[in-house]
Amino acid sequence: MKNLFCISIIAFLLVGACSQPTTKKSEPAPQFNLELTKAEKDGGVLTPEILWKFRRISDPQLSPDGTNVLFGVSEYDVPTNKSRTTIYMIPMKGGEPKKMLDLAGSQFNQRWIGTDLFAFVSTHEGDAQVYKAKVGSGSVEKVTNFETGINSFEYSPDSKKILFTSEVKVVKDISDKHPDLPLVEVYAADDLMYRHWNHWNDASFSHVFYAQVGNGVIKKATDIMKGEPWDAPMSPYFDNTEMTWSPDGNTIAYTCKKLVGKNAAVSTNSDIYLYDLIGGGTTNITKANKGYDRYPVFSPNGKQIAYQSMETDGYESDKNCLFIYNAETKMAENYSVNYEENISGVQWAEDGETIFFVSGINATYQLYKMALNTKKVDQITSGHHNYQSVIVNGNELLGAKMKHSMATELFTVNAKTGEERQLTHINKHIYEYITMGRSEERWVETTDGKKMLVWVIYPPKFDENKQYPALLYCQGGPQSAVSQFFSYRWNFQMMAANDYVIIAPNRRGLPTFGQEWNRQISGDYSGQNIEDYLAAVDAIKTEPFIDEKRIGAIGASYGGYSVYYLAGHHEGRFSAFISHCGMFNFESFYAATEETFFPNHDLGGAYWEENNKVAQRSYENSPHKFVKNWDTPILIISGGKDFRIPYTESLQAFNAAQLNGVESRLLIFPNESHFVLKPQNSILWQREFFGWLDKYLK
């Protein structure tokens, strides 16, 4: 079974049958110790161990009457390397959140099915199934007993039907051809996309099912994608917001990329499909568009569907536009033609005349609204923070918000005035003892005369009369903003707590500064954005509190590539480097990565296209061609299950550094992917990270 990386929550799901009674009280979940030790309280700054004591909020759900919010809270236990997610409820008016259930395993994907009844996925009986419970009862009733387990689900608006996703073996694999070899371990491929993100294709796919909800436990359901060799929701994130019910419960809308093999590898063309429960037919409503189409949301009267759409096939960071499909005319219209930034998290107002959404401006993410009759966009919130989602409750909004100094919390927002009120304080046990560093917005002039926003993050106990080492943070993506995010690995406060000043530029190729700024990087990896990095360092290092002889450069993914490239071109600016999962050799990367559309667009094409000037310029400037210039210590890190930028890129870089006499160290996490997700691995990552920097910068 694939690892399912859902945007709202990460869950490890087991597959199996369960014969427990329908209604029961489970054994209570073991308690994780998340309290700070005396030494951690006395230290007063963020540490790797404290970072894993943060509780992580996910998937807020507003009750039908608008009075209560269900949300998930994930917790981690470092000694056992385990995690669990639990469901809490808090009144919209405020108060202390209450744990809804005390079950073993994890509970997630919580959904209201009335004002005092909710459903959820739970692993407390072993496999993942849907259960329901009455608020305050503590007892649960089993809804599904599906043999391949449940990944995610949604109840219909009238609560009489349920849709859910589960793994289905669709095609035969090589083991089916050799039944006399039951212990064989092999993957076979006759086409591309034989692996994706962190898993090898195993002939099974995530399919959407639906069933009537009666008095019994659901064991069978209708597969609306029967026999189809593709995933819905789409791999690799399997985000359940890519599927939804129509208000009358007669239609299911879902997102799917119905391509296989080479076509899937070179294209981003996903579409939105409508499945008619009465007639049984499926309709593609976005067939004309060749880029990503995702996240369908029905209007309150069911006559329109809002969704996000990218125009360009193969360009995964194209502008996310707001489209609205009219179910009566069968026509769709782009409502964000005159709006420059991306739109996400779309929600309808109750009257169907206004759309609320999340969008970026100057490396922050805010809440907005659009009047559909005029297409006029108004910004609701402002400030140095990131809103991640929005739920409409009349003139009150519910949003999940984070910033450099705060992990995600829930806030209410006045839709007219933008006035905010913090609803949850889930990590109060940490903030009352830990001092966070100041995050400051700077605007730096670039080499081509433009202005670039650079975040400067200071140590918590900053002394302006002291000189500090500094770190240039190189963002990945390459097209994801250096915004007000709170990361559980690339955490600016963690770096600041180790007495580093962080220089985090929003170089060329990052959103929230207009499409021209965002697009510039494609086909020009070694050009203006590299100049932007250096302009940021050269401007900020003139501050008297920075020791310009003690500056390091760090980054992952595209940021890891940036470190490799800077290592051959930095002209003595840096004294230490750290590259995580970076692209080192563009030719080997192109031939090994699984989503071929990415290098086709960003590098300009394949390395064998001799007449392709953009591609040839990219490959001529691959970092591996400048190793002869490397002269600075470098730490190189990768994950054995990273199929986006395979770990062999890191092996090449380390081998090249060693053969050229450059002091270097290699870390390979064999069971991690593009990210380091296991608690103990992450803590070790942090210790090695700062051990390397401290050795050369302090």
- Nearby residues of 169 by Cβ (< 8 Å), 6 or more positions away: 203, 204
Question: Is residue 674 annotated as part of the catalytic site, yes or no?
Answer: yes
Q: Which DSSP string do the residues of 622-660 spell out, in sequence order?
A: -GGGGGGG--S-EEEEEETT--SS-THHHHHHHHHHHHT
Q: Would you say 681 and 668 are in contact if contact means Cβ atoms under 8 Å apart?
A: no
Please give the Cα distance from 24 to 562 (Å, whole number): 55
Positive or negative: CA dihedral 582, 585, 586, 592: negative
**Nearest by Cα to 231 from 222, 244, 243:** 243
Strand, coil or helix: 252: strand
Active-site residue (options: 557, 579, 638, 673):
557
Active-site residue (options: 152, 624, 674, 682):
674
Active-site residue (options: 318, 499, 532, 642):
642
Please give the Cα distance from 306 to 277 (Å, whole number): 20
Q: Which DSSP string do the residues of 342-393 spell out, in sequence order?
A: --EEEEE-TTSSEEEEEEEETTEEEEEEEETTTTEEEE---SS-EEEEEEEE
DSSP 218: B
Q: Would you say 410 and 388 are in contact if contact means Cβ atoms under 8 Å apart?
A: no
Question: Is residue 404 annotated as part of the catalytic site, yes or no?
Answer: no
Strand, coil or helix: 223: strand
* Long-range residue pairs from 249-252, CB within 8 A, at least 24 positions apart, any chain: 249/156, 249/157, 249/158, 249/160, 249/161, 249/277, 250/276, 250/277, 250/278, 251/275, 251/276, 251/277, 251/302, 252/163, 252/208, 252/210, 252/224, 252/277
Question: Is residue 557 annotated as part of the catalytic site, yes or no?
Answer: yes
**What tokens does 482 get?**
């250096």
DSSP 262: H
Strand, coil or helix: 571: coil
Range list of β-strands (E), 92-137: 98-99, 107-112, 117-122, 129-134
- As beta bridge partners, residue 130 has 121
Q: What is the dihedral of CA 404, 406, 407, 409, to 10 degrees?
A: -130
The Cα angle at residue 638 between residues 658 and 188, in degrees rounded to 5: 110
**Nearest by Cα to 386 from 559, 511, 554:** 511
Q: Would you say 241 and 389 are in contact if contact means Cβ atoms under 8 Å apart?
A: no
Tokens 């409820």 sit on residue: 89
φ and ψ at residue 10, rounded to 5 degrees:
-110, 125
Q: Catalytic amino acids?
A: 557, 642, 674
